[in-house]
């Protein structure tokens, strides 16, 4: 499975088309819009099933004030069309999938890895998290697939010189960042070149404007995460 650059990620599918994010219709729309990778998020139900959702609660997306971790899979799927990770892996067998591990406690990394292994999908599933403790557990479990960088690791990328970072031996292979956080800019050639010198790819979220995507790709971005892949894919046709 290739992670060849540049990648067009459907961010939670294609919710910009007016479809509920992280649902099978949203992923289907992203596929029809020509994405070359999928970005999504996971939580665990009370009975240990890994499901696809950005939020721990159903309230924002589905208007149901219930927590995923308090329900069994059967109870959850009676209330909202939340797919399991198994369903997503089976529906998207040929594309890279970026999974953001949202749940920190109770730990869910072992179950996520088990589902990925059952589908022989290790090479095409990147596990990511803002939280370094989550990624440490992923590595401790011996996950052989690609991983992202935590928020703390990305701060170190900015703050430390390349010579020090090479000695540090960063384990993740992709830095996934917005264009900026306050005055801190990630959308510069210097940042991208620094990451590339360390063998780290750079993906930007959430880019819903074609011109912005073109600018980032021209700087050397390795991936663009977007809610509207049917629109932003035009940037990938530019020389």
Query: pLDDT digit string (tens) for 157-170?
Result: 999 999 999 888 78
CA angle 64-66-70, nearest 5°?
155
- CATH architecture assignment, domain 7-237: Alpha-Beta Barrel (3.20)
The answer to whether the beta carbons of residues 144 and 120 sit under 8 Å apart is no
Output the pLDDT for position 88: 98
Structural domain spans, the chain: 7-237
Separation of alpha carbons 125 and 119, rounded Å: 11
Q: Has residue 1 got a pLDDT over 80?
A: no
DSSP lists the bridge partners of residue 184 as: 181
Minimum mean pLDDT range among 34-38, 49-53, 152-156, 230-234: 152-156
Strand-pair partners of 10: 38, 226
CA 209 to CA 95: how far, in whole Å?
23
pTM of the full predicted structure?
Answer: 0.95
Mean pLDDT of the chain: 95
Residue 239's pLDDT band (cuts 50, 70, 90): low
Average pLDDT over residues 139-146: 96
């Amino acid at each position: 499975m290739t992670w060849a650059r540049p990648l067009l990620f459907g961010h939670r599918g294609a919710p910009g088309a007016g479809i509920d994010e992280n649902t099978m219709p949203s992923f289907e729309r992203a596929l029809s819009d020509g994405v070359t990778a999928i970005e999504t998020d996971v939580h665990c139900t009370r009975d240990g099933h890994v499901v696809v959702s950005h939020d721990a609660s159903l309230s924002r997306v589905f208007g149901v004030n219930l927590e995923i971790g308090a329900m069994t899979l059967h109870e959850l799927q009676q209330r909202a069309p939340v797919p399991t990770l198994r369903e997503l892996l089976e529906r998207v067998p040929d594309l890279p999938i970026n999974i953001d591990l949202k749940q920190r406690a109770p730990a869910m990394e072992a179950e996520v890895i088990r589902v990925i292994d059952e589908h022989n999908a290790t090479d095409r599933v990147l596990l990511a998290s803002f939280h370094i403790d989550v990624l440490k557990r992923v590595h401790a479990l011996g996950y052989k697939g690609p991983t992202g960088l935590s928020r703390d690791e990305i701060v170190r990328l900015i703050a430390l010189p390349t010579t020090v970072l090479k000695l540090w031996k960063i384990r993740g292979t992709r830095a996934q960042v917005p264009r900026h956080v306050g005055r801190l800019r990630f959308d510069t050639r210097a940042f991208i070149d620094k990451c590339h010198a360390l063998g780290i790819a750079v993906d930007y979220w959430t880019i819903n404007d074609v011109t912005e995507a073109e600018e980032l790709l021209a700087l050397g971005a390795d991936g663009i995460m977007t809610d509207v892949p049917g629109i932003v894919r035009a940037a990938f046709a530019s020389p």
